[in-house]
Amino acid sequence: MMKNKSPIFTYFCYKINLMSLFNIINLFRLSKEEEEKDTYNEIEEGIHFRGHNLWLLVCAMAIACIGLNVNSQAAVIGAMLISPLMGPVVGLSFGLSIHDKNLIRLSVWNWLIMIVTSLLASTIYFMITPFHSETSQLEAFKEATVFDCMIALFGGLAWFIGITRKEAIKTIAGVAVATACIPPLCTAGFGLANGNWDYFFGGLYYYLVNCVFIGIGTWILSIVLGYQRYYLLNSQGKSKQTTLIITVLSILVLTPSIFLTVKKWNKENFKIEADQYINKIEDRTPEIAIVNYKAFKKGDKKYLDITVLNDSTFLSKNELYEHDMLNKDIELVWHYSKQTTSTSSEIKFLQSQINDLKQKLKETEQK
């Protein structure tokens, strides 16, 4: 029979557990390396758009526009690193947190200057450039999903943590790249210059998502770290009102991104479905040499446009029907590639090469 544990032993176990818990809590504790007034001055200084800040913005917009125009990811990233776009956003959310009307007014004014300058610079560039194609870099900033909202929220948290530290340059630069505030405004400028309203409103919405959720992250941390208590004594009523406004605003901004996320999810699933469908066709009819295929939706109907090599196969009505029955949800549209001057023997030789390559790829996958 086990003896009862002594009260001293129980006390020491309790102390050890308490110390362990305290040490774990200390690991995640956020401490301020600067005085509250220093943080305030740093935020206020970053709000202003005049002199070198304004010229930096124009240069960053020019670099980003060129990068988006010629599909250069490196140029876009470089523009995000040098752009001073988040100062007014952080200033506005911090001002709302501590109910500083002067800081709020100053942030809104400079935020408007920043948006107008950015749109003007990007629109002028896209009006004079000889290239007006919709590149993949431009398309990437046309639709904001829920994931972009999450990136902006965590970016706002990281930004404010960086501000409260003495050396925050690396953190702020990383947040500037992650949240991507400048390319959406360039995308909006592209849409405005070319009369493409999908790109214009899509880019503006993407930018709005970034601003709102960066601001929410800043607002949350300014309360958690005690800045609200430092600057305000009796602010309970105002704090509840501000919380309600920010909650409603975040829901309104988040809602369209949910629909865009569902749309993107369905598009990706349809692409996977089309790839699997093509594999089934090639397995059932290996003599078919598929040159290209494109999956698209028209209304509620799904289509798969398939282009096959000339004379690679002549599909009978029964074969067409069998392939169509592989998946009743997708309607197949068959095309032959454009007529060429090649002889039938050349086409057959090319077809045999394609079939050999397919066989080798299958053997490699099996290994």
Is 210 inside any structural domain? yes
Range of the domain at 120: 33-232
On whether both 228 and 320 belong to a single domain, the answer is: no
Which of 286, 274, 279, 293 has its CA nearest to residue 334?
293
On whether both 60 and 126 belong to a single domain, the answer is: yes
Query: What is the rounded CA–CA span in Å between residue 173 and residue 165?
Result: 14
CATH number of the domain that residue 135 is part of: 1.20.1080
Is 348 inside any structural domain? yes
> Taking a C-beta distance cutoff of 8 angstroms, is the pair 362, 309 a contact?
no
pTM for this predicted structure = 0.73
> Taking a C-beta distance cutoff of 8 angstroms, is the pair 88, 156 a contact?
no
Q: Report the number of distinct structural domains present in the chain.
A: 2
**Neighbour tally for 167: CB within 10 Å:** 8
Query: What is the rounded CA–CA span in Å between residue 43 and residue 51?
Result: 17
In percent, the amount of the chain with pLDDT more than 90 equals 8
Which of 282, 335, 284, 285 has its CA nearest to residue 310?
335
On whether both 163 and 99 belong to a single domain, the answer is: yes
DSSP character at residue 329: T
On whether both 222 and 289 belong to a single domain, the answer is: no
On whether both 77 and 168 belong to a single domain, the answer is: yes
On whether both 206 and 286 belong to a single domain, the answer is: no
* Residue 25: C-alpha distances to residues 17, 34, 227 (Å): 12, 21, 21
Q: Which of 184, 213, 232 is the last residue of a domain?
A: 232
On whether both 201 and 284 belong to a single domain, the answer is: no
Placement of tokens 């920010």 in the chain? 246
Query: Residue 200 above 80 pLDDT?
Result: yes
pLDDT tens-place string over residues 114-153: 889 889 989 999 999 888 888 888 888 888 888 888 888 8
> Taking a C-beta distance cutoff of 8 angstroms, is the pair 268, 284 a contact?
no
pLDDT band of residue 343 (cuts 50, 70, 90) is very low
pLDDT tens-place string over residues 287-326: 677 777 777 777 777 777 777 765 545 555 445 545 554 5
Residues 232/236/237/242 CA torsion (nearest 10 deg): 70
Is 205 inside any structural domain? yes
Mean per-residue pLDDT over the chain, rounded = 76
Residues 347/348/351/357 CA torsion (nearest 10 deg): -120
Decide the pairing of beta strands 290-298 and 330-336: unpaired
Is 340 inside any structural domain? yes
Highest mean pLDDT among 203-207, 298-302, 349-353, 356-360: 203-207
Residue 86 dihedral angles phi and psi, to the nearest 5°? -90, -5
Decide the pairing of beta strands 290-298 and 301-308: antiparallel
> Taking a C-beta distance cutoff of 8 angstroms, is the pair 290, 308 a contact?
yes
Placement of tokens 């004079």 in the chain? 128
Is 126 inside any structural domain? yes
On whether both 81 and 219 belong to a single domain, the answer is: yes
